[in-house]
Structure 1
Amino acid sequence: MRKGMKDVARLAGVSVGTVSHVLNHPELVTPETTERVRQAMQELGYVRNEPARQLARRGHSDLIAVVLPTSDDPFLSGVVRGAQQAAARHGLEVMVTSSEHDVEREQRQLDSLEQRRVRGVLLSPAVDASLQGVRALQQRGTPLVLVGPVFGRHRFCSVSIDERSGGRQIGVHLAESGHSRVLYAGAPLSAHHVSERYEGLIETLAGADVRAADVSGWEPGGGLPAVASLLAAPARRRPTAVVCATDLIALEVLSECARLGLEVPRQIAVVGYDDLPFTRSGVVSLSTVSQPQLEMGRRATELLLLEETEGHRHEKLVLQPQLVIRATSRRPARAVRPARDGDAKVEAGRS
């Protein structure tokens, strides 16, 4: 059982008030009494309840909560690091929870965080759904900032990325390289940020055959059947480029290309999204869209703290992504060796 201040006071032979003075105002206590109280704390294994002390002094804790839709997204881990950096500058700590794309679970977590009197919440919503429950939290006085994909009209501070711009940048790059058949692999296609990237892509590839494949439910190493069947098609029908909604999907596509014996980028170009660390290696060197994850976390935290100021007005910050062209898409599509009849037969045999 956890020991409290009463236990320390009893063992040291002093009042609870004296124990409190030792913790908070040691100058009011004699050195002898202070030493006796600290020895009692050590013997009992007493640990100060810091959140409770903060609540008593200021009405809220020194915790900022980050609520994510999933716990295994490398992109969101960068956002968390940015939030931690900004929070540390203000003497605050960050705690992270995950809704696992469950709206009801997300609401329970928000209710629990409100009861703990957190300083504020950075929320990446579980799904593209109503934010009614979040509005109630805000109205009761808990500052909240939306982070990541932001959809619909809302009255919150938010920090998002211009997803359509990222898709457009990829489209321009592929169009300039002469690609005429492009496959977009996303999961799920109905998600706001996934569909926005696709819309930007088709805006700039108006003259190309662009199709989309929903790869929802895929797992690393498990393959992408919806993509594999198209890659195994005869050369004259096979996509000349595959654009992926994430770098991890792109890594799976590269594995599938290797399995089929397709040379990247001579026979097919591959572009990812997120610019995760592995994409910069000499082995992979993946063309991808870099997103300012750290800046997102830092800016969102600063907005959260500004919400406490009088006369604060909600801000909607939209950050810009940047296409990074690397080895997997650098060679123009016109350099691809034209398909011969023999090639078509070999490819067809693989399908």
Structure 2
Amino acid sequence: MNSTKRIFYYDLLRAIAIIMVILVHVDGIIGYGFDSLKHAIPGLLTATTWPAVPIFLMLSGALLLNRSYTLSEFFKKRFARILYPFIFWVLVTGLIGFFSFGWSGKETLKVIFGLTSPFWYIWMLIGIYLFIPIINSFLKEYGLRGFEFFLLVWAVTIFIITVKIPLLDGINLDYFAGYMGFVVLGYYLDNKQFGLSDRSMFYAGFLLLILSTVFRMYVFRYELGLYSDYNLLFTTIAQSVGLFLAVKYLDKISVDTDNIYSKIKNNIFGKAILSISICSYGMYLVHYIIIEGFEFLNIHSLKLLPIILIITVLTSWAIVFVLSKIPYLRKISGAN
């Protein structure tokens, strides 16, 4: 894709999100807990990574909603982009795990269906994509006001399951507080005019990100017993909104008369961000088997955590990048 047609802050968010995803799974090799410094550091680092999945979904909303397309066009051009790479990489992962790491058939199936692997996100994403044309029609009919109503209901239910109101324990609010809310939220934040200056929006987003992340660390440290799905917590929404706004409005802050992003997007750092963004979906699909390789080798050293993170990021990035340059393999590489 021609980089001149891309929105840089989307690419930066996507690059940040995939590194967050890999970090949380590398942290898992060391283990979480506060019985020792070895386990406390990965635990606190993990508290910073929870916006990763929401950011991916929010970008899907910003990119896919309020578009004109037929159902056949949507499934052929958009749905196929996530489906073909997923089928390829989930089979590759299962085969490597079964024949090289000694997974049983049952363990392999659990990995494939996301019960013990990050592939749960892809199964969820498939469901999200099947529903996006419906949300798209809702947006065209009711506009941002309709989305504000949707987000209000979503936020209230997320708050209820976050604080675990006893009287409502018997009601399954997952029907109202699902992952689709992040898709709607992404489009809303991308298009809503808040009436504040760009600099004020950046500071508000940055402050929200820092405060919500510190609170998230506190929650994790003292095991306050919040809802089991950490992606569907009010703290996660706050972190995700803060990160999204901070990265979006950072572009509006000038340094030496030039916007910050205009200074970096055409240098080697900016080109790396663009490449990671393009390869991010494939990296998500590939990185798990690389981490499982470290697990198979019984590497659990805290000192090696940065090295494992760098190796996993660079290796998954390189695999997807190389495959994307080979004719007929780009469709299954996960690069887009």
State the TM-score, normalized to the length of structure 1. 0.23
- Higher relative contact order, chain-length normalized (CA < 8 Å, sep 6+): 2
Higher radius of gyration, 1 or 2: 1
Name the structure with the higher helix share: 2
